Chains A and B, each alone.
Chain A
């Protein structure tokens, strides 16, 4: 079996042109992941630039309203740039810089990873080009302007479904064209090895902090950790240090769009089957001939036909559960958290909040649930207004 496997998933299914690039990346990562200086610099950036550790907030009103489990929110939305994406962007940019790369390229769906990458590129004095589906550029217009403001060049991608999947295709095509000075800062726990491992390691700071914080506040581990999943980076970050803790339920909430039985969905775990695409073996929404399905979700960040290989393995082994959440449920949860706690979550994170609304009342009042609020919802306000039929200028 080749490198970078999670059970049967993972691997390196990419064109030969990129093989030396990923193997150089792997070598560099193996070196720097144990390098004190590297870790010191990264921790300093996390603490001084991003504002880590992010808060673990007790959502008292929500807890009382739902009448079940005690609910904590991991506030990744409070990070600089407004989401968990900055954790990975900082890690990869620092690694790329150590490798002598001067240019970062990245895909983005909702724009959060694009903004995070553009931000660290500005900070570290690197060139930055972001690939974003045309449809996503439209629904996340504010983020496009933010990236440009930060000095990045944004390429709208007009091929295929014009969303995240196509942005990934186009970033791979760009990387194949220019490798020497360029690092592909992949934004999720997907793609060829070593990306799923590197991104997971940089995001695992989330579960490391949750563990410390909950032990300090409650003196014990949570009963359930909830996170939304598209590619799966915030979820794996929130799960990672709990994988060995068998009593902690790990629940990934995927985007079911208009419903799992409606063709307009992006619920890979519910509807996908084993495939090989974007450098990895994992589950993908596809037709009987292996053509990748055009998926849909109100959330541009979850609008992806596959899922990271480690999640696919966590599903196979039964260690994590994956549940579908519809657009309607996510929008209701978006509004609920805004009104109940005064916290506007990203529409992506709202998928996890939506499942919490169903699960918490079924749990005992002495049980604890942590929801990873992976990002803030300012970017989604215009889209939610449109969804509700309110005409505002964004």
Chain B
């Protein structure tokens, strides 16, 4: 069992994303604890980037707010170091390649390992460029999460075969953000992946309601929600903790109710 794999043990996993430092790092810390006590199985901590090309407006704006507030990679490392001893679930960083490369790829992985980060999701490093990160991730025991998309077709098996932690299935074309419906045949992607590897499959992009979450959980091993949470943080700021807590409780119970 890999570290990220524990999130999928004996249940469907509910995975939440938040942008670190939005509106400030103290609130991020409170949000992490609140989400854990409301049943989240894995948290993706977003390190904000100046130019997040895979994100829709909601997360773009969160990144801008976080950076404008003085959030840096170093300060996020400090935050994770503080919260890690108090929580058991896997934690991953999600960010863009230049944040890792600019910090120094090896130094980034070493530091992530030291503070208790278990995995890394980098949407602008596809299978063909994995070598940029893989050797250092491996050296420090950081699981590198791979993504597949509705356009991946013949690439799914190739990617799944070497994927670590869990396979991130991008539900739809386009950038992150709330969608009213998801038309991709998720079941087909999961089946292709399973034919190549037993790795758990989690679906993200566009999921915002318990109904959607339950529907996705029926077809995959886990559900990822980002923009819907970040939107609440944008709306309520420092007061968002209880709203996010309630939302995570509803979403995780919807996901956990699927067997």
| Docked pose: A164 CA to B49 CA in angstroms | 17
> Are A177 and B128 in touch, CB under 8 angstroms?
no
How far is the CB of B105 from the nearest CB of chain A, in Å? Answer: 10
> Which residues does chain A contribute within 8 Å of B99, judged by CB atoms?
289-291
Say whether B97 faces chain A, with CB atoms less than 8 Å apart.
yes
> Are B125 and A17 in touch, CB under 8 angstroms?
no
Contact with A along B29-65 (1 / 0, CB 8 A): 0000000000000000000011101101100100010
> Which residues does chain B contribute within 8 Å of A292, judged by CB atoms?
50-51, 98
Most chain A beta-carbon contacts within 10 A, residue among B60, B150, B175: B175
Contact A16 B170, CB 8 Å, known A275-B98, A289-B73:
yes
Most chain B beta-carbon contacts within 10 A, residue among A16, A21, A166, A274: A16
- Partner of A15 from B54, B60, B153 at Cβ < 8 Å: B54
How far is the CB of B126 from the nearest CB of chain A, in Å? Answer: 5
Contact with A along B131-174 (1 / 0, CB 8 A): 11000000000000011111111010001000000000010011
Contact with B along A273-299 (1 / 0, CB 8 A): 011111100001011111110000000
> Are A2 and B131 in touch, CB under 8 angstroms?
yes
> Are A288 and B129 in touch, CB under 8 angstroms?
no
- Partner of A13 from B129, B151, B152 at Cβ < 8 Å: B129
Say whether A40 faces chain B, with CB atoms less than 8 Å apart.
no
Say whether A264 faces chain B, with CB atoms less than 8 Å apart.
no
> Are B153 and A17 in touch, CB under 8 angstroms?
no
Nearest A residue to B130, CB-CB: A2
> Are A291 and B50 in touch, CB under 8 angstroms?
yes
Say whether B127 faces chain A, with CB atoms less than 8 Å apart.
yes
- Partner of A290 from B101, B170, B173 at Cβ < 8 Å: B101
How far is the CB of A312 from the nearest CB of chain B, in Å? Answer: 14
How far is the CB of A171 from the nearest CB of chain B, in Å? Answer: 10
Contact with B along A300-333 (1 / 0, CB 8 A): 0000000000000000000000000000000000
> Are A15 and B49 in touch, CB under 8 angstroms?
no
| Docked pose: A94 CA to B3 CA in angstroms | 50
> Are A2 and B128 in touch, CB under 8 angstroms?
yes
How far is the CB of B177 from the nearest CB of chain A, in Å? Answer: 10
> Are B51 and A169 in touch, CB under 8 angstroms?
yes
How far is the CB of A284 from the nearest CB of chain B, in Å? Answer: 7
How far is the CB of A356 from the nearest CB of chain B, in Å? Answer: 34
Nearest A residue to B105, CB-CB: A276
> Are B149 and A16 in touch, CB under 8 angstroms?
yes
Say whether A142 faces chain B, with CB atoms less than 8 Å apart.
no
Say whether B213 faces chain A, with CB atoms less than 8 Å apart.
no
How far is the CB of A215 from the nearest CB of chain B, in Å? Answer: 41
Q: Which of B53-109 contact A (CB under 8 A)?
A: 53-54, 56-57, 60, 64, 67, 72-74, 96-103
| Docked pose: A277 CA to B100 CA in angstroms | 12
> Are A291 and B54 in touch, CB under 8 angstroms?
no
> Which residues does chain B contribute within 8 Å of A290, judged by CB atoms?
49, 73, 98-103
> Which residues does chain B contribute within 8 Å of A165, judged by CB atoms?
51
Contact with B along A1-29 (1 / 0, CB 8 A): 11100000001111111111100000000
- Partner of B175 from A173, A276, A284 at Cβ < 8 Å: A173
> Are B174 and A19 in touch, CB under 8 angstroms?
no
Total A residues in contact with B, Cβ cutoff 8 Å: 39
How far is the CB of B121 from the nearest CB of chain A, in Å? Answer: 11
Contact A276 B155, CB 8 Å, known A16-B170, A17-B149, A19-B127:
no
Contact A276 B101, CB 8 Å, known A289-B72, A289-B73:
yes
Size category of the B interface is: 35 or more
How far is the CB of B50 from the nearest CB of chain A, in Å? Answer: 4
| Docked pose: A165 CA to B159 CA in angstroms | 30
> Are A3 and B51 in touch, CB under 8 angstroms?
no
Contact A160 B131, CB 8 Å, known A14-B126, A20-B151:
no
> Which residues does chain B contribute within 8 Å of A3, judged by CB atoms?
128
| Docked pose: A165 CA to B153 CA in angstroms | 31
> Are A14 and B124 in touch, CB under 8 angstroms?
yes
| Docked pose: A184 CA to B36 CA in angstroms | 42
> Are B170 and A17 in touch, CB under 8 angstroms?
yes
Say whether B123 faces chain A, with CB atoms less than 8 Å apart.
yes
| Docked pose: A1 CA to B131 CA in angstroms | 8
> Which residues does chain A contribute within 8 Å of B155, judged by CB atoms?
16, 19-20
| Docked pose: A172 CA to B67 CA in angstroms | 22
| Docked pose: A6 CA to B159 CA in angstroms | 26
> Which residues does chain A contribute within 8 Å of B151, judged by CB atoms?
16-21, 179
> Are B152 and A20 in touch, CB under 8 angstroms?
yes
Most chain A beta-carbon contacts within 10 A, residue among B74, B128, B173: B128
> Which residues does chain B contribute within 8 Å of A284, judged by CB atoms?
98
> Which residues does chain B contribute within 8 Å of A17, judged by CB atoms?
149-152, 170, 173
How far is the CB of B230 from the nearest CB of chain A, in Å? Answer: 16
Q: Which of B163-216 contact A (CB under 8 A)?
A: 170, 173-175
Nearest B residue to A177, CB-CB: B174
List 8 A–B pairs whose Cβ atoms lie within 8 Å, in order of A's numbering.
A3-B128, A20-B152, A275-B98, A275-B101, A275-B102, A276-B101, A290-B73, A292-B51
Using A16-B151, A176-B175, A291-B67 as known contacts, list a sample of 18 further A-B pairs with CB atoms less than 8 Å apart, ordered by residue number in A.
A12-B126, A13-B125, A13-B129, A15-B53, A15-B170, A16-B146, A16-B155, A17-B149, A19-B151, A19-B152, A176-B174, A177-B175, A178-B173, A276-B101, A289-B99, A290-B73, A290-B103, A292-B50
Instruction: List chain A positions with a Cβ less than 8 A from chain B.
Output: 1-3, 11-21, 159-160, 165-166, 169, 172-173, 176-179, 274-279, 284, 286-292
